[in-house]
Structure 1
């Protein structure tokens, strides 16, 4: 329930940033939402409707490639963002486009960042970025910003190059805020002590693109045999990993420490 509230709140923030700051100045946001804003400005179709329709193919891809929890929160976010864009009136909060691009980008970044922290996304290029992030350890904000060059170019050709530059400012602000809030590139080392070592190992290897080291151990007090599993994950994966461990062995002992640096192969080995 807590994550549902967080995803809903973050999605409403995004809708507010678009309708109060970006759209009135013809400034596009990042990703498919930016394309939806552009189409909403040049056609009579509401931006919220367009945002939902454009996200449908990627949501289907996410169902096939990403975890149920992640895609469930993402579907919720896409629906709430689309409804917010439909319900919240378009209002020019400031007459200064530079202020609109900066604060619109920051507020949208806060919304997307807290949605990521709740193990979801706002859809669009976020889904593509998550797929890439699972394969390669790169900051999500940088990935999303890198995929948005086409949005900036479209803004320049359709509206004006001033609008394109304001769009670039907005996208940059959004990406920096996402990285600040989400910090997916922070590594965590997990030491898992469990009597169901093989089951936990299979669960982790089946769901993570990370290596797992397993060792034999013995309880000092009970003398019972245990398995100790070591793995390094990103901070983004922590909630998912804790759920997987609890599902297999609710009594497992898990020690979680922040890792300063990883040398060698970080992907599955």
Structure 2
């Protein structure tokens, strides 16, 4: 219960921060919108349909896909984030902090990226292409920020023909900064290999197996200097799990030697959620 309330608090604060970045950095400089909003703006200009109605219609299949592939809680958290952001955009005054469009694009993008990454880490999204990105990264180990940047870049590139190329290029700077910061904060795609050398190998193994959904390979080892027997445990985890795993290892064997290396790729079954 406490963990869920903490996640909701983080989602709430970061959604407000996203609205702050839009009203203080991006919108005053007329930075164009990517994602579903950008697509709706383009259709709204070339068709007689209302942009708001198009946004709603385009989000329906995305929400359905997200519900089926990511779960009810994820979608509810995401809707909470969208509602908080929308309301905050109405409350926070539209006032530019800087008159420089490049500075506004960079700082706005960095703030949005940091807030979005923390929302992802709390089990939610900001809607639209973020949900599509989360679904795709469940199947393949792709950097989420770069994936979202690529999808948004296509929309912004098209909008450059419809609106203004200078604004489109400023928008590209902003969403690139957002994507890079998202990948700095949201690190689920990063995998780590742990080699744990311990006299208490059985105790460490039981501790990890009872708290993780990860396979562990146990080898017999021998200290070259002391000739003492050791257990060598090898496992692969996500970057998110590292702090938790280190704490469990210390609890099971404070004297364990642990070598942690970043994994380039994983073949075979590896639980990705």
TM-score, normalising length: structure 2: 0.68
1:268 Cα deviation from its structure 2 partner: 4.6
Task: Could you tell me which runs of 5 or more consecutive residues in structure 1 were left unpaired when the two chains were aligned.
Answer: 205-210, 216-228, 243-252
Q: 1:100 aligns to what?
A: 104
RMSD: 4.1
Q: 1:128 aligns to what?
A: 132
Match of 1:58 among 62, 65, 68: 62
Does the 8 Å contact 2:38/2:156 carry over to 1? no
Match of 1:193 among 206, 214, 223: 206
1:173 Cα deviation from its structure 2 partner: 0.5
Distance 1:184 1:265, change over 3 A: same
Residues of 1 paired with 2:174 and 2:61: CA distance?
Answer: 25
Does the 8 Å contact 1:52/1:78 carry over to 2? no
TM-score, normalising length: structure 1: 0.69
Q: Deviations over 1:136-187 (max 9, x none)?
A: 1111111111111222223312321101110110011101111111122322
Secondary structure of the equivalent of 1:260? Answer: strand
Match of 2:29 among 25, 29, 32: 25
Does the 8 Å contact 2:205/2:216 carry over to 1? no
Residues of 2 paired with 1:257 and 1:72: CA distance?
Answer: 39
Distance 1:266 1:152, change over 3 A: farther
Secondary structure of the equivalent of 1:232? Answer: strand
Distance 1:103 1:14, change over 3 A: same
Q: 1:207 aligns to what?
A: none
Distance 1:134 1:176, change over 3 A: same
Q: Is 18-27 or 2-11 further displaced after alignment?
A: 18-27
Does the 8 Å contact 1:21/1:100 carry over to 2? yes
Secondary structure of the equivalent of 2:263? Answer: coil
Task: Could you tell me which runs of 5 or more consecutive residues in structure 2 were left unpaired when the two chains were aligned.
Answer: 195-203, 219-232, 246-251
Does the 8 Å contact 2:34/2:153 carry over to 1? no
Match of 2:19 among 7, 15, 27: 15
Q: Deviations over 1:112-131 (max 9, x none)?
A: 01111212211111111111
1:95 Cα deviation from its structure 2 partner: 1.9
Residues of 2 paired with 1:124 and 1:257: CA distance?
Answer: 39
Distance 1:263 1:65, change over 3 A: closer
1:234 Cα deviation from its structure 2 partner: 2.8
Q: 2:249 aligns to what?
A: none
Query: How many residues are aligned here?
Result: 235
Q: 2:118 aligns to what?
A: 114
1:87 Cα deviation from its structure 2 partner: 3.3
Does the 8 Å contact 1:232/1:266 carry over to 2? no
